[in-house]
Structure 1
Amino acid sequence: MRDDEILTKISALVDEEHELRNRLTAGEVTTDEEHARVKELETALDRCWDLLRQRRARRGAGEDPDGAAVRPAGEVQNYRQ
């Protein structure tokens, strides 16, 4: 996945999170449904950001950014920024 594709996916995930919060406010989803989906979205965002950082680091080191790979969710969750 190219950097621009990753950034597009990140934007879509953030948009979905905002829409989900609006739906919660409007009473269209329950708090439990919202929390469960937000957790999934946060995991997906963590993985996207990690992949983007890997690609940038590889590029900065003169390596092929396409060598970066999506890591398992458990490996990237709760990284300190």
Structure 2
Amino acid sequence: MSLLGENSTILMQFVAKGKDLSYVRLIDFSHLFPDFASANRFAAEAEGFKIAVGQSHSPKGTWDVTASKVMLPSAGAITESEA
């Protein structure tokens, strides 16, 4: 299944559970990196997003970058932002 298809399926599950997706909201995109330097390089290039960098809760010691953006939750917009 394509990324667009996966995002469509997830959003349809939200709608089936009664979630209203007709208004903009803050959407988080999480990315894991093997080290702090890689996480910071990615964060520096993530234009148009609010960025938070922190050590993940993974036992492997990875770093988590959460890129957040206010947007209408549609499969197309989410897929475009992930790209």
Compare CA radii of gyration and give the structure with the larger one. Answer: 1
Please identify which structure carries the higher helix content. 1
* TM-score, normalised via structure 1 length: 0.30
> Whose strand proportion is higher, 1 or 2?
2
Q: Which has the higher contact order (CA 8 A, sep 6+)?
A: 2
